[in-house]
């Protein structure tokens, strides 16, 4: 099972990804974690990314896709994976599709956690106030203004992915504002639904064509059977005629009893006639 989780910051993608990992035995793939792991491992693509990041530049899409490709090939990803935070743009999604196609793989579903950005901001503001009252230290992401900036970036860059995957028939939308358990249940139902629908529009499969041919064949055979039943009497007459012809060819009918007796008496009469001629002479 190969899944992409879509949703703005604060939508709960990380929480739901952990649920899916435990439920399906697949791995969660985070772009940041993969980049750091590739750099630490010193892989060719990791070294390339390291040089780019050292110059303070953004890692290009082809490098990120290459890192994802290497990670997907690892044994623990054979059962499937969840991509969280990637792809972020339509060009990245297109590159991901090409990469998976080369491996003869495809995404099983793209789950969008649909949330209300304004409610997310209010939640952060409420949480920050409560943490301050309790004297708890604030995290870097516990900042309403930073969240607003991240939400704006998501709307500009990542939101178009919704239309992209919807056009391919891969998108499944879930209400991300529900409780964690309800969201998890909705995702489970969406994945079950995705298992019976194609990810992208395609021509009817050979199997489906064969099924249609098979059903058509049954219809033809029924018609043939009906016509055979109608023609059966004529065929029977033909067979009976053939049998009569065979009997006629094999010989005449046995003679009657009277004819047989006459045939047996005929030699005796001829013998008496012969004796009479002798006596006359």
State how far the Cα of 171 lies from the Cα of 174, in Å rounded to an integer: 10
Helix (H, G, I), strand (E, B) or coil at 174: strand
- How much helix, strand and coil, in percent to the nearest 5, is found in the chain? 65, 10, 25
Active-site residue identified among 36, 88, 148, 168:
88
Active-site residue identified among 36, 123, 148, 150:
150
Active-site residue identified among 36, 123, 127, 148:
127
Instruction: Clarify whether 277 is annotated catalytic.
Output: no
Helix (H, G, I), strand (E, B) or coil at 88: coil
State how far the Cα of 49 lies from the Cα of 43, in Å rounded to an integer: 10
State how far the Cα of 22 lies from the Cα of 25, in Å rounded to an integer: 6
CB environment 41-57: b (16+ within 10 A), e (fewer): eebebbebbbeeeeeee
Residues 6+ apart with CB under 8 A from 117: 8, 151, 155
Instruction: Clarify whether 78 is annotated catalytic.
Output: no
Instruction: Clarify whether 88 is annotated catalytic.
Output: yes
Task: For helices 44-54 and 61-72, give the axis angle rounded to 10 degrees.
Answer: 150
Active-site residue identified among 18, 103, 139, 218:
139
**Among all residues, which ones are annotated catalytic?**
13, 88, 127, 139, 150
């Amino acid at each position: 099972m190969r899944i992409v989780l879509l949703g703005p910051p604060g939508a709960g993608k990380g929480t739901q990804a952990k649920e899916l990992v435990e439920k399906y035995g697949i791995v969660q793939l985070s772009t940041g974690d993969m980049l750091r792991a590739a750099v630490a491992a010193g892989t060719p693509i990791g070294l390339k990314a390291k040089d780019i990041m050292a110059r303070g530049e953004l890692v290009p899409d082809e490098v990120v896709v290459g890192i994802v490709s290497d990670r997907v090939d690892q044994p623990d990803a054979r059962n499937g994976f969840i991509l969280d935070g990637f792809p972020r743009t339509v060009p990245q999604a297109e590159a991901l599709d090409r990469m998976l196609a080369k491996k003869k793989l495809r995404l099983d579903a793209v789950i969008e956690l649909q949330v209300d950005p304004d409610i997310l901001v209010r939640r952060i503001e409420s949480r920050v106030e409560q943490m301050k009252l309790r004297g708890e230290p604030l995290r870097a992401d516990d900042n309403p203004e930073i969240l607003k900036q991240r939400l704006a970036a998501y709307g500009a860059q990542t939101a178009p992915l919704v239309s992209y995957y919807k056009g391919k028939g891969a998108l499944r939308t879930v209400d991300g504002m529900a409780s964690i358990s309800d969201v998890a249940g909705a995702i489970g139902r969406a994945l079950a639904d995705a298992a019976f629908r194609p990810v992208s529009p395609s021509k009817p499969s050979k199997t489906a064509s064969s099924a249609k041919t098979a059903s058509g064949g049954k219809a033809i055979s029924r018609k043939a059977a009906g016509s055979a039943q109608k023609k059966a009497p004529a065929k029977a007459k033909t067979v009976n005629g053939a049998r009569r012809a065979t009997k006629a060819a094999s010989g005449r009918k046995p003679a009657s009893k009277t004819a047989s007796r006459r045939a047996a008496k005929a030699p005796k009469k001829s013998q008496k006639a012969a004796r009479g001629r002798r006596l006359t002479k």
